[in-house]
Amino acid sequence: MVFDKKGTTTTVFQENISQEEFKTNLEKAYPKIKNDNVIVNLFSFEKLTANDVLEYLQLSNTHRASNKSFVLVTNKVSYDDVPEEICVVPTLQEARDIIEMEEIERDLGI
């Protein structure tokens, strides 16, 4: 598992591992990144379904409850295919933009 921290945002990604192992490893490593905004890069997974993305819902809800952003990045599942409460975007730049907007909203108390 690779962590790329820039400012208050950590991007997490992994190559050559199953989606289940990645999720398990992410949950184990979560205490290290719980105070950051988190981008989970899922591009390395060739096959990804909406159900696979929903596996991250509990972790996303926990993280967002602590007033931090949690964004999944994949172009294999559309944000229309998952519930509104989980944030899915097709590019890393969009993930960064979402986090920036959410940071502004938190600063303004929105």
pLDDT tens track for 19-29 = 889 999 999 99
Q: Helices marked H in the chain — which ranges? A: 19-33, 50-54, 57-65, 92-108
**pTM of the model as a whole:** 0.93
Whole-number Å distance between alpha carbons of 60 and 58: 5
For 74-91, the pLDDT digits (tens) are 999 988 899 999 999 999
Residue 109: the pLDDT is: 84
Residue 1: the pLDDT is: 87
Which residues of the chain, if any, have pLDDT below 70? none
Go through the chain and tell me how many residues it has. Answer: 110
Whole-number Å distance between alpha carbons of 38 and 95: 9
